[in-house]
Structure 1
Amino acid sequence: MKSILILCNGDPPSQQLFDKYRAKTDCFIAADGGANIAIDMGTIPDVIIGDLDSYNGSKKESSEIIFRPSQELNDLEKALQYAKKKKGTHIYILGATGYRLDQTLKNLSVLKQFSTQFQQLRMADNFGETRLLPRSFSEDFRIGTQLSLFPLSGKVTGITTQGLKYPLENEFLENGVRDGSSNEVVGNPVQINHKKGDLLMFVKHNND
């Protein structure tokens, strides 16, 4: 197993959140301007990758700097391709949301694009953690944890859940029609199955 942290140039994570994810990863990649955020927090990335139009460092950091000017890929895609090349298995992404809604939506789309290429792919911000669920999902959470389900696009069908305050039994969620926001964990394990579509799960951080 090789765990990798990727920091993008969106809404910066808190120092506490960054330290939490950095502590459980083996390698730290900054996607272009994410390097500015890292340096401001006193941390030097192992790798800085992108077209470097946002990175304003001295380029004298000890990081490996990879210039990839392709406009066909955004900086997160470039970072994930590099993580795959380095045989990363568990990927955590910070700074991929906030500021520009179009970039946030693009990065959520990237989750789908790369979801099958890693054993685990999660995106986190100061509020919570987001992941694209497999057809069958089971995990323990602290009782009372806030959890939401959203279709990434279109419609998700055949959703059945256990362990949530508002359960679903072979039901659907659809953009603009019905969503599964603001549910709550009431029992473990939480089990979520769906038959068709791309289902996102948002889990709110428990702040101890």
Structure 2
Amino acid sequence: MRDKALLFINGEPPKFFPALDDYGLIACTDGAFHYLKQQNFSLDQLDFISGDFDSHTGSDENVYQEKFILTLDQDKTDFHKALEIILEKGFRTVDVFGASGGEQDHFLGNLTVAYSFKDQLNLKFYDEFSEYYFIPKSFKVNQVKNKMISLYPFPFVENITTKGLNWPLANGNLSITSRIGTRNFAIEDEVSVEYASGDLLFFVGRKEIEYPAIY
């Protein structure tokens, strides 16, 4: 059953596309619509395009008008508004492309939006380098041996214990103001994380590494 949604937003254009047949809904913000056109993406497969459309041409509106959902609320980002529409359409799992790259304040804003939806949606971001997402307090991931793993507290995590990492944690604490857990790597096929409180972003590198690329 195709119960997942695919969303493109206006960051760095994707270097690859997932299998579109895996998704029951495919959407983009109006900014992402521009790069999808340039990359010869099959625009007919889009279910909706959301935004204020202040940068679109008349030809865009004529051809794809039935797919446009106008969202004028300036108190929310286009990403936030697109997620609200996806929720209204009954989807709870969303793969997101185009969240990173470009202007970094947008990237930080996208993470903040993801945080606000973490209890309503299963959101997973993909870019050229990694996939990343908020994880529950008890979590396991498989098939990650020799891949870069980063743990980023949002903004803190208490009593965290990890297994399967080169630099494990045992009832430690992480905080964006003191200690974070970036640039670790998996030495086992399975990595597990347990923590008592806070919120944690989990990054998995797309490629295996041959040596610790830590800095």
Change (3 A) 1:192 1:174: same
Sequence identity, in percent? 31
Alignment correspondent of 2:90? 87
Change (3 A) 1:55 1:135: farther
2:143 is paired with a residue whose SS is coil
Larger Rg: 2
The separation in 1 between residues aligned to 2:84 and 2:6, in whole angstroms, is 13
> Which AA in structure 1 matches 2:80?
E
CA offsets, 1:105-157, max 9 Å, x none?
Answer: 11001111111112x2111111111101111111202310111001122x211
Alignment correspondent of 1:142? 144
Q: TM-score, normalised by structure 1?
A: 0.90
The separation in 2 between residues aligned to 1:125 and 1:147, in whole angstroms, is 15
Does structure 2 conserve the Cα–Cα contact (< 8 Å) formed by 1:159 and 1:170?
yes
1:36 is paired with a residue whose SS is helix
Q: 1:68 aligns with which of 60, 68, 71?
A: 71
Runs (5+) with no aligned partner, structure 1: none
The separation in 2 between residues aligned to 1:112 and 1:26, in whole angstroms, is 24
> Which AA in structure 1 matches 2:7?
I
The separation in 1 between residues aligned to 2:129 and 2:55, in whole angstroms, is 25
> Which AA in structure 2 matches 1:203?
V
> Which AA in structure 2 matches 1:82?
I
Shift of 1:165: 1.1
The separation in 1 between residues aligned to 2:19 and 2:127, in whole angstroms, is 11
Q: Are 2:22 and 1:24 aligned? A: yes
Alignment correspondent of 1:176? 177
Alignment correspondent of 2:197? 196
Shift of 1:62: 7.1
Change (3 A) 1:139 1:190: same
Change (3 A) 1:186 1:62: farther
> Which AA in structure 1 matches 2:203?
F
> Which AA in structure 2 matches 1:121?
L
Provide the alpha-carbon RMSD of the alignment: 1.7
Change (3 A) 1:164 1:55: farther
1:58 is paired with a residue whose SS is helix
1:117 is paired with a residue whose SS is coil
Does structure 1 conserve the Cα–Cα contact (< 8 Å) formed by 2:150 and 2:183?
yes
Runs (5+) with no aligned partner, structure 2: 209-215
CA offsets, 1:87-121, max 9 Å, x none?
Answer: 11220111111211111111001111111112x21
Q: Are 2:6 and 1:8 aligned? A: no
Give matches, 1:113-124, under 5 Å: 113-118=116-121, 120-124=122-126
> Which AA in structure 2 matches 1:199?
L
Does structure 2 conserve the Cα–Cα contact (< 8 Å) formed by 1:46 and 1:63?
no
Alignment correspondent of 1:158? 159
CA offsets, 1:157-201, max 9 Å, x none?
Answer: 111111111110110111131111111111243111111111111
Alignment correspondent of 1:103? 106
Does structure 2 conserve the Cα–Cα contact (< 8 Å) formed by 1:48 and 1:63?
no
Does structure 1 conserve the Cα–Cα contact (< 8 Å) formed by 2:144 and 2:190?
no
